[in-house]
Amino acid sequence: MMVYPEIVDVEKRVSTGTQLADKKFEEERGVIDRYIPPKGIAVLSGYAGGCKSLLSLYISACTSLGRDFLGRFPVTKNKVLYIDEENGEPELQRRLNLICNGMGMRLADMSDFYYLSMENVKLDRYEWKEGIGEFLSKHQPCTVIVDTFRRVFRGDENNAGLVSSFFTDQIRPLSKKYNANWLFIHHHKKGQYDKKNLLESMEAVRGSSDIVYESDCVMFLKRVGKGLDNLSLLHLKLRRGMPNPPLGIKLSWGEGMLQMNLSEIVESEEKIKNTKVYQCYEEAIEILKKINEDTVDTSSDKLFFRLLSDKNFKDNTIYDALQKLQEDGYLSSISRGIYKINKRETIPASVH
């Protein structure tokens, strides 16, 4: 005999707009304001060798010690659980010693930093999920940093159903119940991708698109310029607000120490003046100057395509130039094809 589940009494559960208007909610701040959302899921993605693990350890140090991120962005001091399935204890120790020394602190000061290293953690296994939950119940609030997503997920990362279930059935309940924030380190697909618009940029993330859709914040990290000391942090998605402008990060190495500071975004070698993209970029800046004079706050890519096509630039070149304008802080994407124009006084200096 088939037993049917009890019917949900929707009438008892629903509320009205009038009731919603009367509710009071405390304002919640992320661990790093506008980067790691409260009780949310963030993803930091990039290509291999892009310093994702190094930046995540720096975030761990800032969070557990209560130091400003890049010396600029306020941090809510939190306990940190770092799940390392990539590097091992000797490398964790070496990197954290460098970072702490660069902050004028010691690794021994990081008493609010907890870690699991090479323990074969699988967050989609009952025993690990429950075990992490018990830990979080004793150490609230906590930021959980996972290096990397693929290592702690047994399923096929290309399977949308499995990925969605992992975040909605495993991770979000832990976040809500134990006041936890999550940052997952992940990888881009192999190969080169033209970031023609916001959606296609997110499609560079390896695996199912549900990795992006289920996340509250998505960031890309990449090396820029000739050397190994300049990074660009591109903020592509923030569920509760507008993404931040791109950040330039300068790595300063000293004897036994590493400092990370905010810097201008250093352009890579291919962005030189004799390229079509660069020429199109310069023409687009002239268009922006005229728009600014008219005190217009937003624009669409159709306007740029119409004006720049008249100057014999091809569509792909215009797409790349618009992406560069976003990376340099001239434009911020509001929705697909629609941009907020940043005023000239707030625009960072370009590196030509």
Residue 189 scores a pLDDT above 80: yes
What residue ranges of the chain are covered by domains with CATH 3.40.50.300?
A: 41-263
**Is the pLDDT confidence value at 343 over 60?**
no
pLDDT given at position 199: 40
pLDDT of the residue at 134: 95
pLDDT at 271: 43
pLDDT band (50, 70, 90) for residue 258: very high
- Arithmetic mean of pLDDT, 33-57: 88
CA 214 to chain centre: 13
pLDDT per position as a tens digit, 311-335: 888 887 888 788 778 766 778 777 7
The Cα–Cα gap between 11 and 28 comes to 30
CA distance readout (Å), 267 to 128, 232, 278: 43, 9, 11
Those residues whose C-beta lies under 8 Å from the C-beta of residue 310, and which sit 6 or more positions away, are none
List 205's β-bridge partners, or say none: 188
- Residue whose pair of structure tokens reads 């204890």 in the numeric block: 89
Exposed / middle / buried, residue 178 (Cβ in 10 Å: 0-12, 13-18, 19+): buried
Confidence of residue 267 (pLDDT cuts 50, 70, 90): very low
Rounded-to-integer distance, Cα 64 and Cα 57, Å: 10
Which CATH entry fits the domain spanning 276-346: 3.20.130.10, 3.30.360.10, 2.60.40.420, 1.10.10.10? 1.10.10.10
Output 259 or 303, whichever has higher pLDDT: 259
Residue keyed to tokens 């300049």? 230
| Per-residue model confidence as pLDDT tens digits over 289-304 | 877 666 567 777 788 8
- pLDDT band at residue 285 under the 50/70/90 scheme: confident
Residue 350: its pLDDT value, please?
39
Q: Show the tokens assigned to 57.
A: 């350890």
pLDDT tens-digit readout, 102-145: 999 999 999 999 999 999 999 999 999 999 999 999 998 889 99
Residue 247, pLDDT > 90, answer: no
d(CA 118, CA 137): 23
Tokens of 235: 């903020």
Percent of all residues in the chain with a pLDDT value above 90, rounded to a whole number = 43
Instruction: Tell me the H-state helices in the chain.
Output: 10-13, 17-22, 52-65, 89-102, 126-138, 149-152, 160-165, 172-178, 198-202, 210-213, 276-293, 301-309, 315-327
Report the side by side order of strands in the sheet with 298-300. 298-300, 338-341, 331-335
| 226 CB burial (10 A radius; 0-12, 13-18, 19+) | exposed
Helices (H) and strands (E) in the chain, counts: 13, 12
Q: What is the pLDDT of residues 166-179, one digit of tens each?
A: 999 999 999 999 98
Per the model's pLDDT, the better-predicted residue between 310 and 190 turns out to be: 310
The better pLDDT of the pair 165, 272 is held by: 165
Q: What is the pLDDT of residue 190?
A: 74
pTM of the model: 0.72
Instruction: Just give the CATH number of 41-263.
Output: 3.40.50.300
Using the predicted structure, report yes or no on whether residue 101 has a pLDDT greater than 90: yes
Output the six-digit token pair for 247. Answer: 């950040």
Q: Given a cut of 50, is residue 269 above it in pLDDT?
A: no
Place 265 in a pLDDT band, splitting at 50, 70 and 90: low
Q: Percent of the chain having pLDDT more than 70?
A: 86
32 — pLDDT class (breaks 50, 70, 90): confident
CATH 1.10.10.10 location in the chain: 276-346
* Residue 275 near residue 352 (C-beta atoms within 8 A): no
| Token pair belonging to 177 | 């119940």
